[in-house]
Structure 1
Amino acid sequence: MEMICSSIKKLLAVGCWLLAIGLAACSSLPTDVKQVNQMPDIYPDYVGVTIPTDIAPLNFVMADDAVETIDVEVTGSKGGRLHANGDVADFDIDAWHQLLAQNKGGTLTFTVCALKDGQWTGYQPFTMTVSEQALEAWGITYRRIPPSYEMYSRMGLYQRNLSNFDEEPLIVNTQTPDQCLNCHTANRTNPDQFVFHVRGSHGATVVGKERIELLKAKNDSLGGSMVYPYWHPGGRYCAFSTNKTSQMFHTNMKNKRIEVYDAASDVFVYDTETHTMLGDTIIMKKYWAENTPAFSPDGKWLYFTTAKRQVYPTDYDQEKYSLCRISFDAQTGTLGTQVDTLVSADATGKSVSWPRPSYDGRYLMYTQTDYGYFTIWHPEADLWLLDLQTGVSRPMTEVNSDRAESWHNWSVNSGWFLFTSRRENGLYTQIYLASIDTTGKATKPFLLPQRDPKQFYQNMLYSFNIPDFTSKPVDYDSYQTARKLNGQERVATRFQ
């Protein structure tokens, strides 16, 4: 009996010691805090951002890697509290969403303490605004691609749930060896209609509607592939450009390594019911390069960019695109007879690319560069906003940086937009989100949340390309699609 009691005492002693070690390892609460009159330097910089109620927790860390522990108290202006403590401010997902719902239209106040070299430092609180405007999106889709010039390496199309951190592949090029996957494009964020292009020996344009069709990669009449798609809101038509793309490398420009340009490009409309490409000489001019089409939300206009073709590669920096539009009749599938110029390259001395109208029809967002259209390689690339009621354009200084802003898309309610930027390191494009009000004023953008943001973005040696909102998860058979892509069967198209 005495031996049993002695053993129990030893086990209890070991258990208490292990418990004490566990508590010390899991929790280090602030004591003897030294207060400073400055904001905390956090990564990502979420200070003062505006967020929707349906966004994942905006976890963050101290920018200083020497900080051992961060302690964060969050209080809502309309009630509620939240606490996080550890090497990352990792907020419980359910508690985070409850706090945001409780404080819709209000603010969250973050009080941060950080432990470094045995000393706790307390910082001035900062706030986030919880918007009244819902995001109205289940998530986003995007392509992840490594920085490369010739080899496709490993790339894929992915979808991400914006309310948490769940990500899953739609298709990756290990399923289709030696193929390049171009980006997934849905119809007004509805993934029931989507298209993406695959380049390579088994190339095809994948169109998903009631069923998935694989179109022949190239049409001899066009002389190129179907790229840069944009759906007509009715769903029958989809606008494309066809491009003969080349690239060259700079030898004496420190901030620009490469220039991507088109030896030729045209814009046309594809009829998904008849497998017909609808073209017109008014937007397929011999000595002009038409590019990056987009339909208006009512389907009555087709926006596109156009530039006079230059002598390549010597005059590459003289290629400057104007923003134009032409009417479109969905009943007859015909284009109008007059092209309107909305932003003239002759007047601005700059180049326009990637026009994207808001779904409420009020604004059109585009990217402006010094020349060309492949904006990810242009550090001067900025977002601009055209008011379609007044015809006035302005730079979106509230979201632009001194590095490339390259691709953007609207939420279905036109209250939010996302874009890619290389502002962090100049090398990798990352996704940012911001809200925009009815006057066209945008809020401070915030980086796409991750559970451990510093570890994720420091270790993620991939760029995010062509992001877009999706109203629900993309639901299709990736295995069967890859199987078809690896086969030979394709639907032929004809040019009209």
Structure 2
Amino acid sequence: MNKYLLSAFLLLVLACSSTPHDVQESNRLPKIYPDYIDVTIPVGIAPLNFAIADPQVTTVDVVVRGAHGGKLHANGKDADFNIKEWHQLLTQNKGADLYVEVCAERDGRWTRYRDFRIHVSNQPLDEWGLTYRLIPPSYAMYSKMGIYQRDLSNFEETPLIVNTAIPNQCVNCHTPNQTNPDQYVFHVRGEHGATVIRRNGKIELLKAKNELLGGSMVYPYWHPKGRFCAFSTNKTLQMFHAAAKSKRIEVYDSESDIFVYDTQRHSILRDTLLMRKEWAENTPVFSPDGKWLYFITARRQNYPADYNKERYSLCRVAFDSMSGRFGTQVDTLINARTMGKSVTWPRPSYDGRYLLYTQIDYGYFSVWHPESDLWILNLKTMQTYPLTAANSKRTESLHAWTKNSKWFLFTSRRDDGLYTRIYLSSIDRQGRATKPFMLPQRHPKEYYRLLLYSYNTPDFTLRPVDSDAFKLQHDIESEHRISTQINQ
């Protein structure tokens, strides 16, 4: 290259780049989006890219140093770290802190803020990624929605099934067996409705409804051995608040019961303890050893007038996977009558130590309750308490554990009060949550501000889900369905 052209090129590069100069020191922490200040993260997580919350900031210059060595640098409209270098830095500093230095340019002036820390946990994540549903803000129409999977080590998201391939259908509730991608269930609602089950490398489509049950198969949860899957059957209704400023919609069930589906015999196991006429049983989950079936139950109310008097207790009943029989006694673990609150979405950790649940004022559909908070039950001591560090002033709900029970995820509306986003946190040795961090994105400020979809029913997956979307679409559009029978 001609030396004059080279000089001109270098001048152009320098003119287009912006590096800190004449920097003014500030003792304040930077206001960054997402808020990653003092969070705890696992080795292997995607880079925690961030932007300055102030829209007047044009350039951010970030240096990350590890307590055990290593350094990263990013300069641009946001902190966009090199993925390979980020993972090397986390591996080098496992169990130690990262120190983040932030300089921001606003109106041509640079400010250097007080450094903040990110702690790299000793506890591994041990999961490849996530599965979740992305849904639009709609109350009645299915619109465009889909089930997706996301690699947690980078920003790659791929669809498993999107309802534009099966028009006018609703797809929801992708539920693996303890994060195992080879065994899962999800529902399709609409003209080609079905319950889709994958087990032992084979996909089966069940009839969406069994009239003897009085409803569809809802809220699934697998028995750890894989033969059985618990469901509730619900007649779900919704109503809209006319005056409440903080609440838009209420979802309730006019009827709900619990049963267990036997995948080998295509039969439904029922018990009168779980199908009481004056009570509403809901959201069943098996204990990690398979010996207990947890569920929530509430005395039925006069709907919709007394919807806010419905409060669910947490209960459990024994289950014998050899005989497929339930126990003869229901134990109440958290009593809604004495507590004055409602329990929903119970999820036991896979190591058997804890049970994570959501507490709300009434009802069970926590997504629409701004007072919804995460609570935990110690299954050894039976003590229960809120996960204060994970909660916010807005809705927390729909949580799930990693297989090693060291990390959990949940959805929250804390970002803007409108859309649910995914957050991750860990449980320390004292059973307390670490400060959660939002699911990383390449350009998070741009991504989340433009995303007009909510994350719904997320879960971890040990490996990528191997799914043939074209064949699955063909099977759903076919008329072939397996009938379920009631086990008498």
TM-score by length of 1: 0.97
For 2:23 and 2:172, locate their aligned partners in 1 and report how far apart those are by CA, in whole Å: 52
For 1:256 and 1:105, locate their aligned partners in 2 and report how far apart those are by CA, in whole Å: 42
What's the CA shift for 1:437? 1.7
For 2:440 and 2:41, locate their aligned partners in 1 and report how far apart those are by CA, in whole Å: 11
Counterpart secondary structure, 2:434: coil
What's the CA shift for 1:438? 2.9
Pick the aligned partner of 1:450 from 422, 427, 441.
441
What's the CA shift for 1:476? 1.6
Partner deviation per Cα, 1:69-107 (whole Å, 9 max, x = no partner): 100111100011111111110000000000000000100
Partner deviation per Cα, 1:318-356 (whole Å, 9 max, x = no partner): 111100000000000111000000000101111111000
Partner deviation per Cα, 1:240-288 (whole Å, 9 max, x = no partner): 0110000011111111111000000011100000000101011110111
For 1:15 and 1:267, locate their aligned partners in 2 and report how far apart those are by CA, in whole Å: 74
Alignment of 1:266-281 (within 5 A): 266-281=257-272
- In the alignment, is residue 174 of structure 1 matched against residue 164 of structure 2? yes
For 1:15 and 1:372, locate their aligned partners in 2 and report how far apart those are by CA, in whole Å: 69
For 2:180 and 2:7, locate their aligned partners in 1 and report how far apart those are by CA, in whole Å: 56
What's the CA shift for 1:223? 1.1
For 1:483 and 1:79, locate their aligned partners in 2 and report how far apart those are by CA, in whole Å: 53
Pick the aligned partner of 1:312 from 303, 311, 319.
303
Counterpart secondary structure, 1:68: strand
Counterpart secondary structure, 1:310: coil
- Residue of structure 1 in register with 2:339 after alignment: 348
- In the alignment, is residue 74 of structure 1 matched against residue 47 of structure 2? no
What's the CA shift for 1:22? 3.3
Pick the aligned partner of 2:135 from 140, 145, 148.
145
Partner deviation per Cα, 1:288-334 (whole Å, 9 max, x = no partner): 11000100000000000001111111000011110000000000011
> Which amino acid letter does the alignment assign opposite residue 208 of structure 1?
R
Task: State whether residues 52 and 60 of structure 2, in contact with CA within 8 Å, keep that contact through their aligned partners in structure 1.
Answer: yes
- In the alignment, is residue 483 of structure 1 matched against residue 440 of structure 2? no
What's the CA shift for 1:199? 0.6
> Which amino acid letter does the alignment assign opposite residue 397 of structure 2?
S
- In the alignment, is residue 37 of structure 1 matched against residue 6 of structure 2? no
Partner deviation per Cα, 1:369-392 (whole Å, 9 max, x = no partner): 000111111000000000111111
- Residue of structure 2 in register with 1:197 after alignment: 187
Pick the aligned partner of 2:249 from 252, 255, 258.
258
- In the alignment, is residue 413 of structure 1 matched against residue 392 of structure 2? no
In the alignment, structure 2 segments of 5+ residues that lack a partner are: none
- Residue of structure 2 in register with 1:3 after alignment: none
Counterpart secondary structure, 1:195: strand
For 1:282 and 1:38, locate their aligned partners in 2 and report how far apart those are by CA, in whole Å: 58
Alignment of 1:110-259 (within 5 A): 110-210=100-200, 211-259=202-250
What's the CA shift for 1:439? 2.0
- Residue of structure 2 in register with 1:107 after alignment: 97
> Which amino acid letter does the alignment assign opposite residue 184 of structure 2?
F
> Which amino acid letter does the alignment assign opposite residue 85 of structure 2?
A
Counterpart secondary structure, 2:38: coil
For 1:118 and 1:276, locate their aligned partners in 2 and report how far apart those are by CA, in whole Å: 70
For 1:236 and 1:20, locate their aligned partners in 2 and report how far apart those are by CA, in whole Å: 68
Larger Rg: 1
For 1:40 and 1:202, locate their aligned partners in 2 and report how far apart those are by CA, in whole Å: 51
For 2:406 and 2:471, locate their aligned partners in 1 and report how far apart those are by CA, in whole Å: 36
- In the alignment, is residue 330 of structure 1 matched against residue 328 of structure 2? no
Aligned pair count reads 486
Task: State whether residues 133 and 148 of structure 2, in contact with CA within 8 Å, keep that contact through their aligned partners in structure 1.
Answer: yes
Task: State whether residues 388 and 433 of structure 2, in contact with CA within 8 Å, keep that contact through their aligned partners in structure 1.
Answer: no
What's the CA shift for 1:49? 0.3
Counterpart secondary structure, 2:308: helix
TM-score by length of 2: 0.98
> Which amino acid letter does the alignment assign opposite residue 166 of structure 2?
T
Counterpart secondary structure, 2:57: coil
In the alignment, structure 1 segments of 5+ residues that lack a partner are: 1-7
For 1:193 and 1:240, locate their aligned partners in 2 and report how far apart those are by CA, in whole Å: 16
Where in structure 1 do 4 or more consecutive aligned residues deviate above 6 Å?
Answer: none
Pick the aligned partner of 2:276 from 282, 285, 301.
285
